[in-house]
């Protein structure tokens, strides 16, 4: 695991992030909602990074990447919709298909939890995961997230909501 590290997203990550997202596009689209096709270009990823870094400056987002020993981007993890008043944020992550099953998402989620506590002083993290996404459920369970039971009168959802009290 020492071969990998989690660091903040940078404005200079355009080429590395584009390569990562293009390499894994089919894989991600089989697991989670597809991105706008315009995203898959230097301009699209450049705007995406700019938007995330603006979100960081405003205290609404905290974006990270996972890097291998050659400084190649092999995963991403984000604190999203940070709400300091309520002390809550959402988590999201994705890992290069070739490197799945080696604990990278778990490494990244632990980093998000630590940042949520230390940097943002949050009280709760929330995750939404498609019911059939067994791998992501496993990562969340391992990091202590608990299933939020839907209200009795709510219609059936395609996603689970899981919550971690910090």
Closest residue to ligand COA, based on beta-carbon distance: 135
- The answer to whether the CB of 165 falls within 8 A of the CB of 123 is yes
**132 conformational bin, left if phi > 0, alpha if psi -120 to 50, beta if neither:** alpha
Comparing CB distances to ligand COA, the nearer of 54 and 72 is 72
Q: How far is the CB of 93 from ligand COA (least distance, A)?
A: 5
Taking CA atoms, 112 is separated from 5, 39, 115, in Å, by 13, 24, 5
Comparing CB distances to ligand COA, the nearer of 93 and 153 is 93
Gyration radius of the chain's alpha carbons:
16
Please state at what angle helix 42-57 crosses helix 14-23, rounded to 10 degrees: 110
Beta bridge partners of 90: 80, 126
Q: How far is the CB of 153 from ligand COA (least distance, A)?
A: 26
Taking CA atoms, 145 is separated from 19, 73, 83, 165, in Å, by 31, 26, 19, 8
Q: How far is the CB of 7 from ligand COA (least distance, A)?
A: 17
Comparing CB distances to ligand COA, the nearer of 108 and 121 is 108
Binding site for ligand COA (CB under 6 A): 28, 31-32, 93-95, 100-106, 129, 133-136, 138-139
Closest CA to 31 of 146, 142, 134: 134
Comparing CB distances to ligand COA, the nearer of 49 and 74 is 74
Q: How far is the CB of 103 from ligand COA (least distance, A)?
A: 4
Comparing CB distances to ligand COA, the nearer of 98 and 121 is 98
Q: How far is the CB of 151 from ligand COA (least distance, A)?
A: 22
**Phi, psi values for residue 161, rounded to 5°:** -110, 125
């Amino acid at each position: 695991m020492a071969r990998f590290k989690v660091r903040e997203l940078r404005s200079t990550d355009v080429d590395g992030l584009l390569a990562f997202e293009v390499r894994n596009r089919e894989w991600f689209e089989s697991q989670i909602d597809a991105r706008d096709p315009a995203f898959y270009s230097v301009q699209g990823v450049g705007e995406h990074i700019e938007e995330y870094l603006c979100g960081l400056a405003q205290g609404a987002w905290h974006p990270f990447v996972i890097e291998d020993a050659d400084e190649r981007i092999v995963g991403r993890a984000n604190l999203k919709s940070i709400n300091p008043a309520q002390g809550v944020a959402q988590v999201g992550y994705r890992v290069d298909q070739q490197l799945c099953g080696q604990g990278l998402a778990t490494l990244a989620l632990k980093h998000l939890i630590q940042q949520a506590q230390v940097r943002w002083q949050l009280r709760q993290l929330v995750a939404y995961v498609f019911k059939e996404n067994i791998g992501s459920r496993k990562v969340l369970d391992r990091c202590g997230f608990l299933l939020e039971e839907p209200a009795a009168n709510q219609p059936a959802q395609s996603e689970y909501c899981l919550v971690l009290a910090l």
